[in-house]
Amino acid sequence: MHRVVQLLFAAVVVAACGSSDQRSETTVVFAASSLVDVLNDLSNDDESAFVRAVMSFASSASLSAQVVDGAPVGLFVSADRQQIDELVAAGYGLSDPRVVARNSLVIAVEAGNPLGIQTLDDLTRSDLLLAVAAPGVPLGEYSEAMLRAADIEVSPVTFEADARAVLAKVVLGEVDAGIVYATDATSTSDVAAVYVPEADAVAIEYFALEITTTPGRSSALLNELLGERGQQALLQRGFVLP
């Protein structure tokens, strides 16, 4: 068994210590890294079903692979449909996939935008250091689709594992710009978001899928994400409602 699966089992055991009611409600949630803020908001809300959830954030492609490896997951929220469809085809789904939110792409730059980056064409400048997400992860695929639709070729200096890793490169000043989700760019005052019309060519949807076979656990979390509490939390973090 892979190390990550062992760690997840340990996390579930620790989180489940307490009453039998608490144990029966503990669920592991896998979610795209761009959802870290909104799901942490919910997990810190005493009235939320996410209070007793064990969270794990990474790229959707990485999380999907961990599900296949045997990680004890109750709910998976992916930044794209492909990962969900592959899990359903492999027999891991307990319910029909549901769209819980939408997002868009922006260029993240240093606060104040000192280099005056305004368009996708600016990302082709030879003096500019660009970070993008790696091919195969949803953000990387979305970024490539946007650039391809705009007929623009770029030369990134780094390919990162997920959205928050791209954002971190910009925040730390290791690159001049990064293509990220709009919600990531607005999550910190250390960067500015440059909105580009070409981003409209890419439809970004987050899909949730119940993985667990234990009745009542994951469905309560999914219902909350689709309900007023969850949708309001998503809206407050800049996501577009489905």
Residue-by-residue DSSP string for 109-143: EETT-TT---SGGGGG-TT--EEEEPTTSHHHHHH
pLDDT in tens, 115-127: 999 999 999 999 9
126's tokens: 């030879």
Look up the pTM and report it: 0.86
105-201 has the same fold as 3-102+205-236: yes
End-to-end CA separation in angstroms for the chain: 37
Cα diameter, the chain: 60
What residue segments make up the domains of the chain, in order of their start?
A: 3-102+205-236, 105-201
pLDDT in tens, 1-46: 444 333 333 344 334 343 334 445 689 999 999 999 999 999 999 9
Confidence at residue 80, expressed as pLDDT on a 0 to 100 scale? 95
Q: What is the architecture, at CATH level 2, of domain 3-102+205-236?
A: 3-Layer(aba) Sandwich (3.40)
Domain 105-201 matching CATH 3.40.190.10: the answer reads yes
